[in-house]
Amino acid sequence: VNVGAPKSLPAPGAEASDPVVGEGAPSEAQLLTGVLAGERWAHAVLFDRLYPVVARTLHKVLRDKSGDYEDLVQVSFERIVRTLVGEKRTQVLSLSAWAGSIAAHVALDALRGRMRERRFFERDVAAAPRLERVAGANLERQLEARQKLEWLQKALANMNADQAETVLLHDVLGHGLNEIAAMMGVTAAAAQRRLSRGHQELLRRAAVRDKERP
């Protein structure tokens, strides 16, 4: 599963003054050692290395230009560092994939927060220009695309959190079940159950929606 940096988004701030960026860049093991030691260079390199996947994941889930984007990036990296220096760091198999899963978790939290704050529809207004570009000139298709996105985000935000995250990691971000199990600290069988129940719940909500349609 490739969740690496998209070519369309270069790392935002690899500075020439960073002695470890570029040739002779540190390995993941060196990076982790530096982070554990509280070294600033290691955190800077970690940010540059993982920012693309974090940005891509946040964008895939949220699909808007909300003003709290920088906050979400910061929260994602705080969680990344907190987990790296915490007791669960041995579960990290692939830094990039794992960082994406953390960003997905942050994005889901953000969606739930927006639901709670009843700001969901205001955010959708902000998202409208993007959808216009995606959907082309057909206004009806634009509206339909917006409604589908809105419905899916609401469904994921209101679902069981573990199930929603599993669906997101598997179906949207493309992780395998074993990888998801390692990321979430459960067995592969438990991850499979979460995915299956998540699918059932999505289909159930879709059925309810279809019945309520005029």
Partner 1 sequence: MSQPERRQELDELLAPLSDDSEPVPRRPLNREQIVSRMVEVSLAPEPRFSQRARMGGGLALAATLALAAWGGSSWWRGHAGSRNGIEVVALRGQVTSVEGPLGVGKPVHLSATGTLETSKGAEARFTAPGGLSVELLEDTKVSLADLGGAQGSSALRLERGRVRCSIQHLPERQFVVVTPSARVVDVGTVFSVSVDPGRAGPTTLVHVEEGAVLVEHAGGQARLGAAQSWSSAAPAPAPAVEAAPPVDTLPEPLPSAHRDLAKHRPPTLAIETELLQNGLRSEQRGELQAAAKAFETLVARYPSSPLAPDAKLALSRVRSRLESAK
Closest listed residue to residue 46, CA positions, set 6, 72, 18, 23: 18
Q: How far is the CB of 101 from partner 1 (least distance, A)?
A: 15
HEC per residue, 61-85 = HHCCCCCCHHHHHHHHHHHHHHHHH
Please report, as ranges, the residues that interact with partner 1 according to CB under 8 A: 6, 8-9, 12-13, 35-36, 38, 40, 43-44, 46-47, 52, 55-56, 59-61, 63, 65, 69-70, 73-74, 77-78, 80-82, 84-86, 130, 133-134, 145, 148-149, 152-153, 155, 167-168, 171-172, 199, 202-203, 206
Between 53 and 182, name the residue whose CB sits nearer to partner 1: 53
Go through the chain and tell me how many residues it has.
214
Between 71 and 187, name the residue whose CB sits nearer to partner 1: 71
Between 20 and 145, name the residue whose CB sits nearer to partner 1: 145
Q: How far is the CB of 32 from partner 1 (least distance, A)?
A: 11
Residues 6+ apart with CB under 8 A from 89: 32, 83
HEC per residue, 156-194 = HHHCCHHHHHHHHHHHHCCCCHHHHHHHHCCCHHHHHHH
Q: How far is the CB of 71 from partner 1 (least distance, A)?
A: 10
Q: How far is the CB of 87 from partner 1 (least distance, A)?
A: 10
Between 46 and 106, name the residue whose CB sits nearer to partner 1: 46
Integer CA distances (angstroms), 43 to 34, 76, 95, in order = 8, 13, 13
Q: How far is the CB of 203 from partner 1 (least distance, A)?
A: 6
Between 124 and 187, name the residue whose CB sits nearer to partner 1: 124
Residue with tokens 């997101």: 168
Residues 6+ apart with CB under 8 A from 160: 197, 198, 201
| DSSP assignments along 187-208, one per residue | -HHHHHHHHHHHHHHHHHHHHH
Q: How far is the CB of 159 from partner 1 (least distance, A)?
A: 12
Between 64 and 179, name the residue whose CB sits nearer to partner 1: 64
Closest listed residue to residue 44, CA positions, set 70, 58, 25, 23: 25
